[in-house]
Amino acid sequence: TTTQPILPTTFSSGGKVARSLDVSPLDSNVPHILLVTESIINTQFPCNIRLLDIGRSLCSQGYKVSISDTESNISVSFKQQHNLSNISIINHQDIPSILQMRRKDSLEPEITVVMEYLWFWSYLSVPEKLSSSIRSLSPKTKIVILTDDLHYIRQKLINNEMYDHLTQAIYSDAKDYEYAIQKRELSVYANADHVIGVTEYDTGVLSSMLVPLNVPVSLVRFRHNLTKETLSSFNSLPTYSNRKGICFLGNGNNPTNQIALNFFFKQVYPLVFRQTTPTMSMMNITFHLVGTVPQDRYASFMEQMTADEKKTIDIIPFLNQNDLVKLLQRCRVMIAPIRATTGVNTKIIYGLMAGIPVVTTNIGARGIDIDEKPASLAIAPEDTAQSYADTLIRTYSDAQYWTNLLQNSLRAASIFENTRNFEKDLNHVLQQLSI
């Protein structure tokens, strides 16, 4: 479960003067951009990686940047570690009073643009609460919504995938939740001046959805900072014969990952690891599951396994980035058997960058937006367990195919370090806002 921060139920125009000295009115015409998410402290979350990356990019281009969090007194070491020394951290509680601030000798708002990172949970997040109040607090401030998902469409895919496993009553509740998310999501977009998507597929769907609302949509791709060090060490990466094992990354509390693991263990696993060939025998392969998964779900996933087979499963709740990269570069294959998602499946990007061939599905690969000629991902051609099993067996067993895939995937990964395109796309959004 996600812990909710202590916040007001609504953002109002009242409130005390902002406590942070960093947000005093500017004397210049430098645009001030406020980035809002639930909390930036956990930098393992892809949304926070993306938000901090956008903040640093804007700051390097001369904009004044602030990020809101549950605490304004974030440690100096955290700011130094994540290169945030020139970015102000303000408290969520101070947002209303900051939005009402005006620049010296001007009626222009202190905050030029609010960029909100939206995720639609069962409760209202800070950005979602704020989105309905910005217009009344500061009518001239532009609102940009950052989204890494088509939330209600993703929920629809999950519901369809889970239909056979749910009682009718639970499925009915899930459909109601899907419709509620759709209503909330469209309401937030309708109030925005611009929406930013993360993949070509998502931005295309968003554009179609928002045509009646006259809200422009732009693509700003996901960027990750792992590539340079990985690419520079490509020649020193362990070779095919020096790597062994299979890994999966993902929080098991996430329905997308639950569905993926359920599909893999119950349908793919019997087709792959109970063969007589030594290469693919589960007795010769350790299966590393990295990410928090409730024990009852593990029991469900592995209920068909023998006691000896269960001993080959290595459950790792958490790894820091360095240890995670070491594990990925020790394993031979990473699996991403994704069956219900939108947006970018960031585990695939991480695998590409860390230097491990990734076996995925058409749905999993859809959000990556990379040229598949030559192939950089091992994509199961059909949406069946047999197709996925065949693709995994080939990737794990064929040394030449594996080596070609690794070389191609590292080249493809370089697009996620493309600073020029990233900043160009970001500036295009600001230009459309006349910033």
What pLDDT score was predicted for residue 226?
53
227-416 and 21-148+191-223+418-432 share a CATH fold: yes
The CATH number of 227-416 is: 3.40.50.2000
pLDDT band at 2; cut points 50, 70, 90: very low
Model confidence, pTM: 0.77
- Which are the contacts of 405, defined by CB distance < 8 A and separation ≥ 6? 357, 375, 376, 377, 378, 395
pLDDT band at 390; cut points 50, 70, 90: very high
- Class at the top of the CATH hierarchy for domain 21-148+191-223+418-432: alpha beta
Between the alpha carbon of residue 264 and those of residues 8, 269, 301, the distances in Å are: 43, 6, 9
What pLDDT score was predicted for residue 11?
45
What pLDDT score was predicted for residue 23?
44
What order of strands is seen across the sheet that includes strand 378-379? 313-316, 287-290, 246-249, 333-336, 358-360, 378-379
> Domain map of the chain by residue range?
21-148+191-223+418-432, 227-416
What pLDDT score was predicted for residue 43?
59
Tens digit of pLDDT for each residue in 79-94? 777 778 888 888 888 8
Between the alpha carbon of residue 178 and those of residues 154, 162, 175, 310, the distances in Å are: 9, 13, 5, 36
Tens digit of pLDDT for each residue in 187-200? 899 999 999 988 78
What pLDDT score was predicted for residue 252?
74
Q: Closest Cα partner for 96 from 155, 60, 137?
A: 137
What pLDDT score was predicted for residue 253?
74
- Which are the contacts of 139, defined by CB distance < 8 A and separation ≥ 6? none
pLDDT band at 360; cut points 50, 70, 90: very high
Instruction: Please state whether the peptide bond connecting residue 374 to the residue before it is cis, i.e. omega within 30 degrees of 0.
Output: yes
Across the range 137-142, mean pLDDT stands at 92
Q: φ and ψ at 335, to 5 degrees?
A: -105, 145
Q: Closest Cα partner for 285 from 301, 267, 272?
A: 272
**64-78, 190-204, 273-287, 311-325: range with lowest mean pLDDT:** 273-287
